[in-house]
Structures are given as C-alpha cells and as structure tokens.
Amino acid sequence: PPPDRQIDVAAPISVKDFCALIGVKANLVLKKLLDHGKLVTINHALEADDCETMGLEFNRNVVVKKTRSQEEKHFDDIAEAPDKPEDLLPRPPVVTIMGHVDHGKTSLLDRIRSANVAGGESGGITQHIGAYKVAAPHGSVVFLDTPGHEAFTAMRARGANVTDVVVIVVAADDGVMPQTEEAIDHAKAAGATIIVAMNKMDKKGANPMRIMQQISGADPDLTPEEWGGKTYYAKVSAVTGEGIEDLLERLALETQVLELKANPARPASGAVLEARMTEGKGVTATLLVQNGTLKRGDVILAGRAWGRVRNMYDDHGKSIESAPPATPVMVAGLNVVPDAGDRFHSFKEITKARSIAEERAMKVRETAILERKHIKMENLFQSIEAGKLREVRIVLKTDVKGSVEVLKKSLEELTTGEVRLRILHAGVGNVNESDVILADASDAIILGFHTVVEDRARSIATEKGVQIRQYEVIYHIVEEMKLALEGLLEPARVETITAHAGVKQVFKISRSGNIAGCVVTDGKMERSNQVRVKRDGKVVHDGRLESLKRFKDDVKEVAEGFECGIKVAHFDSIQVGDVIEAYKIEEVARKLERKPESR
C-alpha cells in the first residue's frame, strides 16, 4: 500500500495478520522486531507500541485502534464515578502481625481476641492466614495473622496492598533475630507504618532497651518516640495482658493519623486473603472488604473466579448479611479457587463478571509462555534508558555479620544524585525463599557473598526470573555494581579546542556565499570540526564547517602554518581579522562520584 494510506490495526494482533495488513513479508518484520530486542514468532501477539514502531520502520501509516476488553470498559466506568468527600467515612486500620518464629505472634493476637486459637495450631506456627476484627475502646482494629512475611510479600506481588500498619513482634527476652530483620525489610518495602511490640515482658530476662537499641541502631528510621524518633515501641505480654490496652489504643488512633477512609455506599471491592476448596461448602474464600459494602447475594469477581455470594460469615463463624469497609469475611459461592492477593469486585450482572473472568483466564493462557522480565545487571542501562528504572534495588546475603556491615556501607556509598542504590534487605545466611519472594515483588537483584543458594530458592528464582549473583571477594561485588551503575550515568560532554585560523581575506562567491581565506595559526583544522567565529575577543557565531579547501580542492584537514579556504555554514558575515576557532565535543564515560552528605 502507498505510504500515506491509513492502515487501521486492532491491537493486539498476530505478526502474521499484521504483515498481511501492511503488505510486508513476515521475515522482514521478524528481523526488525529482533533488532528491537524482541525474539518472536509469526503467531506472537503484537501490542499497540510494537505495531506503531513497525509502521514507522516500514514507512506505513499505521493507526492502532485498541479494542477495549469487557474488563477495561467496566473499570473505566467505575473510575469515572469517584467517591464524593461527604460519602467517605473513617474506617478501622488493617494491621498485619509479623516477626520471628516463636516470638509469640499468635499468642499475642490470641490475647487480644481473648480466644484460645494458638494452642490448637500444629507446632505453634500459624498454618493459614486468619483475619480478625477486634473491638477496642477507641474503635475497631482488623488484624491479619500471616504465616510469615513471605506470604505478606507474595500477596503484595499480586497487587494486594491490604496493610496499613505492620506490628513487628519481638520477644523481649530473646531480642532481634534474622527473621525479625527480614520482616522489617518486607514491611518497609510495602510502605507500611511500623509499630514494634516487645512481647514476653513478663519473663525475667526481658530487656526492652536492648531491642530498641538493636532495631534503631540497624535502621535509624525506626528510632523510638522516647528517643526523638517516630516509631512506637509497645511493651506487652501475651501471658499477663500487660500493655495490650495501650497497643490497641495506639492502633485505633492510626485511623486519624493515617486518615483512613472508605465509602460504604459503593459496590464492594477488596482483596482475597486466602481461598480453598472444602468438602461440603465447595470453594470458600477469606476476603477483606476494603471499600464499599459486600452483601449476601452479591455477584463477585476475584481474579479468574466469579460467582454469587451464597453464604457469608464473620471472623467468629457467625452468618452475616452485609460487611462494611475493613471487614474480613469468609464467603462461599465462587466457581474456582482464586489466588491469595487477587483483587475482588462486586457486580450487578453475573454475565459481566463471568465474561471478564473468562477474558482473564484466556489472557493467562496466552501469556503463560511469556517470561516476566526482571532487572538484571546486564539490562540496567536499557531499563533506565526506557525510563523504567529510578533506582537499583538489592537483596544482600553474606556468611557473617561483619561482611554485611562492610558491604552495606560500601554499596550505599555508590549512590549519587542521579543513580540510587537501595538495599531492601541485608542479612546473614543462605539465600532463601523469602529473599527471592522479596526480590520478585520489588524487582530487585540478589547479591550473595560466601553464601549458598537453597534449592527451593534457586528453583523459584528461575521460575520468576529473579537474578542471583554470587561472589567470593567483596571487592568484586562493589566493583561490579560500580561498573553497572556507571553504565547508567549519561556520558560527560567534553570540549577540546583543536585549531585556530586567522581570516586574511574574504572572497565573495555568488553561488556559495562568502569564503574566508585563512592561515591556520595553531593545531589542525579538520573538516568534521565545530567552529566559533570570534571578533574582537567575542563569539559572533557558533556552528559547523560547510567546506574546507586547499586552493580549489576539498580537503579533510589543514595543518598549522598552511593557508586554506573556509566556508562557515549559515554564516556570511565573516570579516577580515576574525578568528575561527575549531573544536570538537567528545562523550566521555563518567565515573561515580559519591553524593555529598547533607548537613
């Protein structure tokens, strides 16, 4: 087709169909796509950006008309109806309890709920995600009891940011443990407010001062309020009940501090906390209603699952008819088991929910073969060039504590005003599943020093496309990260003056304009140079050479002491006595300079 003819393309479209529309052989389009870093087949679905790029490459007037899916139409309509300020009402905070194994997370929650659930769970470790709404003197608080920070971050990787506050439980007689540090790093990566609960204050060896020193020493952002910081440290005992009232009061006040509000008049939306297939009930899902009100009989869509809410139970197992914002409920009625972390929405029509679920299922099947691409050392430059990268995130594991401190300090010093290196987690021990899940959710690179990668962690990293790099020499880690970051810096433009020529005579040529008869006084005048014309010490023009001649011949260069004819592009006001200064701009790779510390 002629280049000016408009070709309407509905994206996504297969390479084969796209080639037929634009009239170009498939092998040529595939080669161009490969030049753009995309190794695909003729059955691959091209997105709108790819179609437009290929249109430009083959001089075709491609106009992409993206077909809106049922899902996009529905959620665009919802977005067009924002909440009115008068409809927004305060809602309870959602709190996740995390910490080291056996530091008393479930016992603490058990005490808060005044129900003996901890003793009934195998090994004293929570076996599933529980969600509980607790009435406190100053308002309700919703607690999520996770089986570990890995589950918390895996949900976040699926887009479910459900937590407002994370309570890190630390045993006052035991102190900060590696899992405690991991939990803090996961909570910070999620951007949640952190409160530290120093549990087991009834024990003889309880030492809250040591915990405050350990945590704030490792992370100044978690300095206690008593020491002028912003982090609340609660002294509690799950056994005696000491400090529980104060902790609940502080958590309830977070509604005002964080300005937590929701609109109960909207159709319900929220997140799936857990789901399973149970005998007799079919699919049951624990949902957290985050906005709107969920009612029994509502049609809901959760990931690829859809259905009508047949039964709904609160956290005590009592059947309820409706659930306002910040309420955990268990529902029955979905057709398949959704994933933890899936968003859910209520619908008026079951046909719409079903069609969106089917679209999602089809999309998952289509993209199953496509790998989720994570940041790797090799593609840092492409990522920042594409505007995708603002910082390089690192999960760091070493064999001993001393190495952690040395490496953390050395790597953090590589940060500049342009390139930021952020260490999400630094710990001692093997690279484990928790590290890979954090790196997956946060798009980070894992660096290991004298450490082993656990088999389970390696298989998950391979599956998720997370890069793990292992080193035996500290210098190699720092040097390799430095080189990778230097690749992100824009090269410095350095000017070098190469020659000067004095104008002795001006020749007026009718077809060419004014030619300056010059003598090169120093250096070497080259045809490729940029030039400045100086008059009485001031620059009157800055541009490029149009021609450089010796007698009547075009030449590439003229050495010092020789005469030549110079035509300056787009400048005819050359005069006898002017000086033509030649220079060139070179791009020089920049080195990292440490960001100056603020005083």
413-423 tens-digit pLDDT: 887 766 778 88
Q: Give the pLDDT score at 401.
A: 66
DSSP letter for each residue of 477-544: HHHHHHHHHHTTSPPEEEEEEEEEEEEEEEEEETTTEEEEEEEEEEEEEETT-EEEEEETTEEEEEEE
pLDDT of residue 530: 92
**Alpha-carbon span 202 to 354, nearest angstrom:** 54
For the segment 163-185, the average pLDDT, to the nearest whole number, is 89
- CB–CB of 172/208 below 8 Å? yes
The answer to whether the CB of 297 falls within 8 A of the CB of 309 is: yes
CA angle 390, 395, 400 (to 5 degrees): 145
Pick the closest to residue 14 from 52, 40, 39, 34 (CA basis).
40
The alpha helices in 433-473, defined as continuous H runs, are: 433-442, 455-464
* 110 to 38, 107, 115, 117, 438: CA distances (angstroms): 53, 5, 6, 6, 28
Helix (H, G, I), strand (E, B) or coil at 395: strand
Q: CATH topology for 269-367?
A: Elongation Factor Tu (Ef-tu); domain 3 (2.40.30)
Report the pLDDT value the prediction gives residue 326, as an integer from 0 to 100: 92
**Which of 418, 343, 424 shows the shortest CA–CA distance to 384?**
418
Residues present in the chain in total: 599
What is the per-residue pLDDT across 224-248, written as a single tens digit (0 to 9) for each? 999 999 999 999 998 888 899 899 8
Mean pLDDT to the nearest integer, 474-497:
75
Sign (positive or negative) of CA dihedral 331, 335, 339, 343: negative
Evaluate if residue 80 carries a pLDDT over 80. no
CATH 1.10.3720.10 fits domain 377-486: no
Of the candidates 346, 347, 315, 342, the residue with the CA atom closest to the CA atom of residue 328: 315
Between CA 320 and CA 323 the distance in angstroms is 8
DSSP alpha helix (H) spans, 303-400: 350-367, 380-385
User: Across all residues in the chain, what is the average pLDDT?
Assistant: 82
Q: How far apart are CA 579 and CA 332, in angstroms?
A: 87
Region 146-168: mean pLDDT is 70
Amino acid at 20: A
- Written as one letter, the residue type at 305 is A
Rounded Cα gap, residues 107 and 122, in angstroms: 13
In the chain, what is the straight-line distance between the N-terminal and C-terminal CA atoms, in Å? 65
Q: Is the predicted pLDDT of residue 563 greater than 90, yes or no? A: yes
CA 133 vs CA 66, 130, 327, 346, 454: distances in Å? 44, 10, 7, 22, 38
415's enclosing H/E stretch is: none
Spatial distance between the Cα atoms of 97 and 166, rounded to a whole number of angstroms = 6
Distance CA 180, CA 480 (A): 30
- Determine the average pLDDT of the residues in 339-353: 87
- For residues 167 and 97, the answer to whether their CB atoms sit within 8 Å is yes
Q: Is the pLDDT of residue 374 over 80?
A: no
CATH superfamily assigned to domain 93-259: P-loop containing nucleotide triphosphate hydrolases (3.40.50.300)
Task: Report pLDDT digits (tens) over 40-62.
Answer: 788 788 888 889 889 988 988 88
pTM: 0.57
Distance CA 488, CA 375 (A): 13
pLDDT for 88 equals 92
Average pLDDT over residues 118-137: 54
Lowest mean pLDDT among 19-33, 117-131, 454-468, 528-542: 117-131
What is the pLDDT averaged over residues 442-452? Answer: 89
Kindly report, residue by residue over 129-156, the tens digit of the pLDDT. 368 888 877 788 898 866 555 556 666 6
Domain edges within the chain: 6-64, 93-259, 269-367, 377-486, 493-588
DSSP 8-state secondary structure symbol assigned to residue 259: T
Contact partners, residue 364, CB within 8 Å, separation at least 6: 304
pLDDT digits (tens, 9 = 90+) for 500-532: 999 999 998 877 789 999 999 999 999 988 999
Number of other CB atoms surrounding residue 554 within 10 Å: 10
Give the C-alpha separation, 127 to 159, whole Å: 23
CA dist., res. 435 & res. 153, Å (int):
10
- Looking at domain 493-588, its CATH class is mainly beta
Tell me if domain 377-486 and domain 493-588 are identical in fold. no
> Can you say whether the dihedral through the CA atoms of 145, 148, 150, 153 is positive or negative?
positive
